[in-house]
Structures are given as C-alpha cells and as structure tokens.
Amino acid sequence: MKRQLARRSVGYLWILPALVLLLVFVYYPIVENFRLSLYSWNAFRPVPKFVGLNNYNRVFADPVFWTAIVNNIWYAVVSVAFQVGIALVLAALLEGVVAPRLRGFLRTVYFIPATISITIVGLLFRIIYQPEGLLNAFLGLFGVESTRAWLGEQETAIGSVIAMSQWQNLGYTTMLFVVAIQRIPKEYYEAALVDGAGAVRTFFSVTVPLVREMTTLLMIVTISGAFLVFNEIMATTQGGPNNSSQVLGTWLYQSAFKNDDMGYATVVAVVIFVFTFTAAMLQLAYSRLRRVEQ
Amino acid sequence: MKNRSIVGIAAVMVFALISAGCSGPTQSGSSGATSTGELTGKISFLEKWPDPKYKVYFDKVVADYTAAHPGVEIDHQAVGDQPIKDQLRVLTSANELPDIYFAWPGDFANKFIRGGFAADLTPYLDGTEWGKSFASSALGAYQYEGKNYGIPINLNGKVFAYSTEAFTKAGVSVPTSFAGLKASCAALSKAGYTPIAFGNQYGWPAIHYITQLNAQFVPADVRAKDYAPTGGDFTNAGYEQALAAFKDLIDTCGKKGSNGISHETAQAELTNGKAAMQYLEVLEFVNLEDKTTVPEDFIGKWDQFVMPPVDGAAGNQTAITGAPDGFLVNAQSEHIDLAVDFLKFLTSKENAAEMTKVIGWPSPVEGATTAENASAATVKAVGEIQQASELAIWLDTIASAEVAQAYLSGVEGLLNGDETPASVMEKVRTAAAKVKAEA
C-alpha cells in the first residue's frame, strides 16, 4: 500500500512542472484578467481604480464592439463554408476526378498560399485591392468599370479581408481532407460503383460520412480561429475605415495599446474567452460522445 | 502596485493571444556617471528609425560617442514608427523604460511626464549654451507646466510639395488663399493631372490636414483648452468648418477611394508626373530627391508652399502643422547625467549639421541647416517654419488617445461619405467627455 502511494507520488512529481507552468502562464492570467476587468487602469496610471461592472456596460453599449462581433461571426460563417464545405468538395474532386498526374501539381498550387507569411499576403492584397489595382483591372476585362478601393470603403473592407483569408487557407484544409479521404478503404467506393451510385451520391453516401471526424475538427478549429483572427486585419485595414473592419482581437489591441484603456480591453478579452472556451467545450463534448458511440 | 499593471498587461496579452510573445530591451546599469568627471556606465537608447538610410547616422553618433568615452556603453535600439507606440507602453508598465527614449511632443510625451517617467531637463537647458542653441519653438514643443522635458532632434512641418512642370503646364501659380488652392484644381485636372495626391490608408495623412485646418478655423486659446489632457468641449463651430473644408478640398482635388491608397503610393503619383502636388512633411523632402526611386524628370523640378490662409476663418492663418521629433530621459535612470551628456553630443552643432547632410533632416539647432548641407527647398521650409506664428502639433499626438482615435475613424468615414462633419464632431465630443470624466 505504502509502495503504491509512493509510486503515485512520484507520478504527481513528474507532472508538477507542467502543472506549475500552466497555473502561472495560463490559469492565473485568466483569473487576473477577470479581476482586472472590474478596474479602470492603463500603463501610465500605476493605481487601478475599481469601477465595478462599468467597463462591461461601456463595452456592451459601444457600437464598435458589436461591429467587431458581427465581423467575427461573418468571418466564422464564410470560413466554415469555404475551408470546410468547399475544401471537402475540392478534396473529393482531387482524389476522385482529377487525373493522377495532375493531382500532385494541383495540390501544390492550392497549398502554396498557406506557406506565405501573412505580412506578405497583406501587402500583396493591399496592392490588388487598390482603386487602380489588379482586381479592378480584372473586373474591367468583363466590362465592369470599377474604381472601388476595396479595403478603403466600409461596405467592402471586411469582406475583402475575409476573401483574402479564404484564398490563403483553403488549400491547407483541402490537403487535410485529401489525407482523410485517402484513409477511406477503396472497397466502399467499389461497392458504391457496383450498386450503381453516381459521383454525387458516392460523395454524400461514402465520403461525407467517413470524413466526419475531420469535418468536425476543422469546423471547430475554423470557428475558434475566426474569433481569434488578428494578423489578417492588422496586415490590411487595421480595423478601418471608420472601424468597419474591426474584429474582437484588433479592437482589444486598439483599446489596450492605442486608447490606453486596459480595463475596457480586458472585457473584450473576456468576451473572446467566452467564445473560444465554448468552442473548446463543444469539441471536448463531441469527442467524448464519439468515444461512447465507438 | 506597478506589479499589478505588469501582471494585468500580461493577463490581457496571454488571455487573447496565448501563443504570442513579446520582448523588450533590458535596462542595464553601472555607476560613476557624472557630468563633471570622466563618464562611465551603460545606457540604453531607443529611437524609431530602423530604416538603414536613417539608422546609419544614429549608429555613427553612438560609435563616435563611445569612442570618445571608453568607459561608456550604449545599448542602441531602433523600432519602427508604429511598434514603438506599443513597445513604450509595455516597457512603461514593466518599469523597463530605456534611459533615453523617443516620444512625440504633445499628450504622447505628456503622459510619460505626468506619470513621472520623464526627467526634468530644465536645469540642463535653462540659461545654458546648450539650451540657447535650439529654436525656441522646437524646445517649447516638449515643455510641460513651464518645464523642459524633451530634447528635439529635428524640425518638421507640413507643406505642399508641387511639380513646377505641372503648374506651368496648367498655367497655375502658387495659391495665396485656400479658395485659390481649390480653384487651381480645375486647371490642373484639365491639364491631365490629379491635382492633389492623397492616400489615407494609415489614417494620419487626413489628420495632418485636420490639424492644419483646425488651427486655421479655431482660435488658439479654444484649441488649447479642447486638446488639454483634462478634456475639452469641442463645441466651437470652427471644428465642423475645418472638416467640411477638408472634405470639399479632397472631393474637388483628390481621387476617389483615398482610404484604400497608401501615402507612399500617392507620393509616387507626384514623382511619376501623374499628380500635381502632395501635402507632406519636410522630412519627406529627401524622398523626392532619391535618385534610386524617383524618375530623373522630377528631381529638381519641384518646389513647396505652405497651406494658404482661409479668408474669414477665426483661427491662426500663419500657423504651420508640425512638430519636432525628440527624446525624453527616463526619470528613474541611474545615469541621467550620462544620458543628458549623450543628448548634448547628439545635438551638438557639428552632429546636427552632419544629420542634415547625411539624412536630409532640418535641425532645430540654430545655424546647423544651411545652404551648404541642405537642399534649397529644405532651407526655404525651415525659414517658413521658424517664421510661423504657431507650430500646430499633430492632432493625433497632442490630443488624448480617445479623442485622436475618434478623429481618425471619423475622418475615414467622412472621406467615404459615411459620416458628416457634424457626426464626426459628435463622436469627438463623446470621446472628450469620457476623457473629462476620467481626468
């Protein structure tokens, strides 16, 4: 009994360093963030002032905060449609329709954008989206005369950034689906063929159900990614024009480091936490459910 | 209590960006620095010009100083224009500010002063040869409650640079009034030019126009009260008139979609002969003469003029938007004397003249910018800045951050037609009221 207890203690000792690191660098800041969201403070004011729920009232009454939430939701919806829906179709086409020789080439072409730094992608698309940029010139080929500043106008700024993000990430998720499809036993496809199923029926009856785990995982990753998005906005619009392309991450940054309003920023951080924590909980719940089913 | 701030900032950053990290320069220390004896010790120096064409000058000054003072070591770091704003805030929270650090004049610097992070340099400047060597307007930009806290390094102001060829071709002469400036645009357009090259992707180019027009439309005492850190009312009608005049000017003379064009792209239109003029900083003159990027046709074929007066406006018609860039000394530094001695060296007449010669910046040191080491346009602009009755400091650094952000986003909306001058000012007043409540 004593020996068993000693062996267990040694085990706990091994996990202690990781536990301490997690406590200090993850859980303590989370708790501290909740506490500080009740104070008004900034880098130049050494003594935080207790303001209760005032920061929460300010955040929820701020139209820019709601613009940011809506933009994040749009980001998530479009990203799921492209990086999960279209990526799956693309992967199925690559594996089932495209000639084997062309497959490798197309996979590389789709994947290349994911390897480029977001700073470079941002710079590239700032040029493409200029009034005299490539996009307007391309539209001109079809007789659409446009001098629109895609990143400079409130109506199109966030949509243009979301489109850029899909261009960059579609290839990456497509590759993940390709790997998932390659793991499906060929017998299922042969059986579908024998049963007389066409390509579309085979896709919905074989491919979609058998890549369900990957689909769920990518949905959760894409949704949490959409609520943590930051670099894409900073590399292009920085939240402008007139705050129309703010997302929670950039609004937090601007409130903390430009407006010197750390108390307000901590509330935005709490909201981000709520969204990403919910996504993580759903992921955990789903994986537990799957394990039970299996 | 300061530790709480550090933990707090860490909490915010870890919370939202768990995987992100940041780093900053570390402060080192040693002893024995005095202004009278042999100077020894290590100081840190943070400036905002990492571009090699500027950094070469600062590197040389640091090397020359340490060569002359073998017991001194300088940890020199350069961080870009945008990141330095964040880095200084993080370093302030962590109580890790360098011994010498860059700060824009106005409320940006005043925050450090009010927080006790900037040393009072009045004893080093008041009545001394060093103090007398600076243009008073430049030194005055870093004054707070009658005391000097900053050392100006350059002299900057906003003027219109224009293509002499475009003006000649269009039969236009240098405008002498704001109405004349607007009227000249029709002739320039007819001659095939975009009259004013304007790109507002970063937000600040519009704010520089507004700084100037606010100065011309709103009396100085009203502005001083409104821009104060305690927050103003911004109820003077001149503010809306300034926004309306700006919108009218850009609609008449600029190109559509300016929020999607960068300042540099707009500048390329001027140098490539597509645009006739651009409102730019004197420090940018060097870009207009850069043989590696500017077509030969443009070099030497441009001149400049200041924003012309607005007839009947209630503000100061001879004010020029601009401010020097400069450095503060950390009040908690163990080597204040050494830091000040280095700044004296950096702003000596010889080094100031060298700065103008090497990187083309006009100097606030009397007699350092001359026809021998600067272009004719720079000498002319320096004369105009020195003659100006007022140096209107950039709106986005003189006003509180909240007010500045309200202006920045509001003016972007104004340019797109999504906001009106009245709605922009409503946002500014809301921001100012918040600042006032928290003061």
Cα gap A18→A4, rounded to integer Å: 23
Contact at 8 Å (CB) between B336 and B342? no
Backbone angles phi and psi of B76, in degrees to 5: -100, 125
The whole-number pLDDT of residue B32 equals 32
Query: Which of B399, B356, B388, B392 has the alpha carbon at shortest distance from B375?
Result: B356
For residues A37 and B72, what is the distance between their CA atoms, to the nearest angstrom?
44
pLDDT per residue rounded down to tens, chain B (439 residues): 444 555 555 555 444 444 333 333 333 333 333 344 578 999 999 999 999 989 999 999 999 999 999 999 999 999 998 789 889 988 998 889 999 999 999 989 999 999 999 999 999 999 999 999 998 888 999 999 999 999 999 999 999 999 999 999 999 999 999 999 999 999 999 999 999 999 999 899 999 999 999 999 999 999 999 998 777 899 999 999 999 999 999 999 999 899 999 999 999 999 999 999 999 999 999 999 988 999 999 999 999 999 999 999 999 999 999 999 999 999 999 999 999 999 999 999 999 999 999 999 999 998 899 999 998 889 999 888 888 888 899 999 899 888 999 999 999 999 999 999 999 999 999 999 988 887 7
What is the Cα–Cα distance from B31 to B42, expressed in whole angstroms? 8
pLDDT score recorded for residue B30: 32
Residue of A nearest to B17 (CA): A228
Determine the residue of chain B that is closest to A262 in CA distance: B9
For chain A, what are the domain ranges? 2-54, 62-293
Distances (CA, A) of A44 to A160, B96, B115, B165, B343: 37, 13, 6, 50, 25
Q: How far apart are CA A202 and CA A216, in angstroms?
A: 20
pLDDT number for residue B37: 57
Closest CA of chain B from A118, distance in Å: 15
- A254 to chain B: which residues are within 8 Å by CB? 405
Structural element, H or E, at residue B77: strand B72-78
Judged on CB neighbours under 10 Å (0-12, 13-18, 19+), A133 is buried
CA distances for B316 relative to A231, B205, B287, angstroms: 42, 21, 30
**B280 bridge partner residues:** B159
- Surface-to-core class of residue B361, CB atoms within 10 Å of its CB (0-12 exposed, 13-18 middle, 19+ buried): buried
Give me the phi and psi of A280, to 5 degrees please.
-65, -40
Interface of A with B in 186-225 (CB under 8 A): none
Residue B234 to residue B224: CA distance in whole angstroms: 11
A153 contacts B416? CB cut-off 8 A? yes
Tokens of B117: 């992070």
- Cβ contacts (< 8 Å) between B401 and chain A: which residues? 258-260
User: Which residues in chain B touch residue A149, judged by CB atoms under 8 angstroms apart?
Assistant: 256-261
The whole domain housing B59 covers 15-153+325-379
Q: Which of B1, B9, B202 sits opposite A47 (nearest CB)?
A: B1
Q: Using alpha carbons, select from A219, A223, A189, A220 the residue that is nearest to residue A92.
A: A189
Question: B307: alpha, beta or left, given left = phi > 0 and alpha = psi -120 to 50?
Answer: beta
Nearest to B4 among A48, A149, A272 (CB): A48
Smallest CA–CA distance, residue B268 to chain A, in Å, is 13
Encoded amino acid at B289, one letter: E
Question: Is the peptide bond preceding residue A100 cis, with omega within 30 degrees of 0?
Answer: no
Q: Per residue in A90-112, pLDDT tens?
A: 999 999 888 888 988 999 999 99
Q: Do B93 and A43 touch (CB under 8 A)?
A: yes
Q: Do B8 and A26 make contact, defined as CB atoms within 8 angstroms?
A: no
CB proximity A261 to B under 8 Å: yes
Residues B281 and B369 in one domain: no
Please tell me what DSSP assigns to residue B118.
B
Report the alpha-carbon distance of residue A51 to residue B303 in Å, rounded.
55
Q: Measure A62 CA to nearest chain B CA, in Å.
A: 12
| Residue A230 three-state SS | coil
Contact B201, B183 (CB under 8 A): no
Looking at the structure, tell me whether residues B52 and B162 fall in a common domain: no
Instruction: Say whether A256 and B12 touch across the interface (CB within 8 A).
Output: yes
Decide if B15 and A150 are in contact by the 8 Å CB cutoff: no
**Cβ pair A152:B115 closer than 8 A:** no
| Strands A39-42 and A45-50, bridge-based pairing | antiparallel
Dump pLDDT digits (tens) for A12-68: 888 999 999 999 999 999 999 999 999 998 888 768 899 999 999 999 999 999 999
Q: What confidence tens digit (pLDDT) does each residue in B362-394 have?
A: 999 988 999 999 988 899 998 888 888 888 999
Distance from CA of A43 to the nearest CA of B (A): 5
Contact B250, B182 (CB under 8 A): no
Residue B387 is assigned to a structural domain of this protein: no
Is B115 part of the contact surface with chain A (CB cutoff 8 Å)? yes
- Interface A–B counts its CB contacts (< 8 A) at 149
Structure tokens at A10: 């040694």
- Is B430 a domain residue? yes
Do B405 and A44 count as a contact with CB atoms less than 8 A apart?
no
Contacts by B429-432, CB closer than 8 A, 24 or more apart: B429/B233, B429/B234, B429/B235, B430/B406, B431/B400, B431/B402, B431/B403, B431/B405, B431/B406, B432/B226, B432/B231, B432/B232, B432/B233, B432/B234, B432/B400, B432/B402, B432/B403, B432/B406
The answer to whether residue B203 neighbours chain A at the CB level (below 8 Å) is yes
Q: Are residues B269 and B300 in the same domain?
A: yes
If one counts the domains in chain B, the total is 2
Which residue of chain B comes nearest to A34, CA vs CA?
A: B11
User: CB contact, 8 Å: B12 with chain A?
Assistant: yes
3-class secondary-structure state, position B99: coil
Q: Which of residues 85-114 of A touch B (CB under 8 A)?
A: none
**pLDDT score, position B102:** 97
Q: Mind telling me how many Å the CA of B427 is from chain A's nearest CA? A: 11
**DSSP class of residue B146?**
T
- Domain assignment present for B341: yes
Contacts of B9 in chain A (CB under 8 A): 43, 256, 262
Report the residue of B3, B264, B412, B435 to disrupt the A interface, i.e. the one with the largest count of A CBs within 10 Å.
Answer: B412
Q: How far is residue B358's CA from residue A118's CA, in Å, rounded to a whole number?
A: 35
Measured CA to CA, the distance from residue A133 to residue B257 in angstroms comes to 12
**What are the strands, taking DSSP E only, across B99-149?**
100-103, 143-144, 147-148
Q: In this structure, is residue B1 part of a structural domain?
A: no
Residue A269's closest chain B neighbor by CA?
Answer: B16
- Residue A173 CB contacts under 8 Å (≥ 6 apart), including other chains: A83, A84, A87, A218, A222
| Coil, strand or helix at B389 | coil
If asked whether residues B70 and B49 sit together in one domain, one would say yes
Q: What are phi and psi of B53, to 5 degrees?
A: -70, -20
Q: Which residue among A240, A249, A258 places its CB closest to the CB of B259?
A: A240
- A262–B92 C-beta distance less than 8 A: no
Sheet holding B194-196, edge to edge: B194-196, B275-281, B158-163, B302-305
* B336 and B416 in a common domain: no
Same domain, B106 and B166: no
d(CA B278, CA B194): 10
Instruction: Using a CB–CB cutoff of 8 Å, tell me whether B439 touches chain A.
Output: no
**CATH number of the domain to which B108 belongs:** 3.40.190.10
Return d(Cα A49, Cα B149) in angstroms, integer: 28
Whether B267 maps to a domain, the answer reads yes
Could A152 and B200 be called an inter-chain contact, meaning their C-beta atoms sit closer than 8 Å? yes
Give the residue, B344 or A9, on which the prediction is more confident: B344
CA-wise closest residue to B414 among B222, B177, B203, B271: B203
Contact list, A47 vs chain B (CB under 8 Å): 1
pLDDT in tens, A119-173: 999 999 999 999 989 999 999 999 999 989 999 999 999 999 999 999 999 999 9
Can you read off the two tokens belonging to residue B81? 């224009």
Measuring CA to CA, how many Å separate B136 from each of B113, B149, B200, B281, B377? 20, 14, 32, 20, 22
What residues of B are in contact with residue A258 (Cβ under 8 Å)? 85, 401, 405
Residues within 8 A of A (CB atoms), B 284-343 only? none
A62-293 CATH fold: MetI-like fold (1.10.3720)
Q: What span, in angstroms and rounded, lies between the C-alpha atoms of A168 and A111?
A: 8
Q: Do A266 and B11 touch (CB under 8 A)?
A: yes
Picking from A41, A48, A241, the nearest residue to B259 by CB comes out as A241
Residue in chain B lying closest to A40 (CA)? B438
Q: Which stretch of DSSP H or E encloses residue B183?
A: helix B178-190
- Taking contacts as CB-CB distances below 8 angstroms, the residues of chain B near A252 are 12, 16
Tokens of B402: 């909240």
Are B274 and B315 part of one and the same domain?
yes
CA–CA dist A181, A95 (Å, integer): 8
B191–A contact, CB cutoff 8 A: no
> In the block, which residue shows the tokens 């085990």?
A11
Tell me whether B415 touches chain A (CB under 8 Å): yes
Q: Write phi, then psi, for A223 (nearest 5 degrees).
A: -65, -45
Length of chain A in terms of residues written: 294
CB B149 within 8 A of CB B327: no
The answer to whether residue A272 neighbours chain B at the CB level (below 8 Å) is: yes
Strands B41-47 and B100-103: parallel
CB contact under 8 A, A126 and B2: no
Backbone φ and ψ of B279, nearest 5°: -85, 115
Question: Is 0.80 surpassed by the pTM of this model?
Answer: yes
- Give phi and psi for B194, each to the nearest 5: -80, 115
Contact yes or no for A260 and B111 at CB 8 A: yes
Q: Does B402 touch chain A (CB under 8 A)?
A: yes
Q: Provide the chain B residues 379-398 that lie in CB contact (below 8 A) with chain A.
A: none
